[in-house]
């Protein structure tokens, strides 16, 4: 997809552009350093762990654990409450996102979640959903 014009990605270069192009294609990719093997997020040109410059893009497993969470309160006519969380990807990096498909007050620290790409084109972004086993446990509470 490199070289193709994507609205909203114009003016974005380097690693950020590559990340946004992958999202626009429906993929959630993260970076891994070939020198030390560490995964990291947000997109960068130098490894934050060892300073290495041999960086590759890999598909994220999409599996993560909620590290922190909060509920943003809004009036119903403004779209209602929504969750904002930091998840720790199984590969190690943490990222800010949200958990969809679960009431915001039911999202808990330690909950297992899975990623998906929502939206389309330049409006694509990563969201998470509660894994089946954690959803069953929530229903039993």
Q: Residue 58: beta bridge partners? A: 30
For residues 106-126, average pLDDT: 95
Nearest CA-CA partner of 30 in 41, 44, 45, 16: 41
Q: Which CATH number fits domain 15-59: 2.30.240, 1.10.3470, 2.20.28, 3.30.70?
A: 2.20.28
Beta strands in the chain (DSSP E): 29-33, 39-40, 55-59, 63-72, 82-89, 94-97, 99-100, 112-118, 125-130
- pLDDT of residue 140 exceeding 80, the answer is no
pLDDT reported for residue 133: 61
Q: Where are the domains of the chain?
A: 15-59, 63-130
Q: In this structure, what token pair is assigned to residue 122?
A: 């330049």
Burial class (CB in 10 A: 0-12, 13-18, 19+), 23: buried
Give the whole-angstrom CA distance, residue 34 versus residue 31: 10
At 51-61, the pLDDT tens digits run: 999 999 999 99
Give the whole-angstrom CA distance, residue 88 versus residue 64: 5
For residues 94-104, average pLDDT: 95
């Amino acid at each position: 997809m490199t070289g193709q014009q994507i609205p909203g990605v114009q003016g974005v270069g380097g690693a950020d552009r590559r990340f946004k192009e992958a999202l626009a294609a429906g993929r959630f990719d993260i970076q891994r350093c070939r020198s030390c093997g560490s995964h990291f997020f947000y997109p960068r040109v130098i490894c934050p762990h060892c300073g290495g410059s041999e960086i590759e893009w890999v598909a994220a497993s999409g599996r993560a654990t909620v590290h922190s969470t909060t509920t943003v309160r809004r009036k119903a006519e403004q779209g209602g409450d929504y969750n904002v969380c930091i998840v720790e990807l199984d590969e190690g990096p943490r990222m800010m996102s949200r958990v969809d498909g679960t009431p915001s007050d039911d999202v808990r620290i330690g909950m297992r979640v899975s990623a998906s790409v929502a939206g389309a084109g330049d409006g694509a972004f990563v969201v998470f959903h509660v894994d089946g086993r954690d959803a069953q446990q929530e229903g039993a509470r």
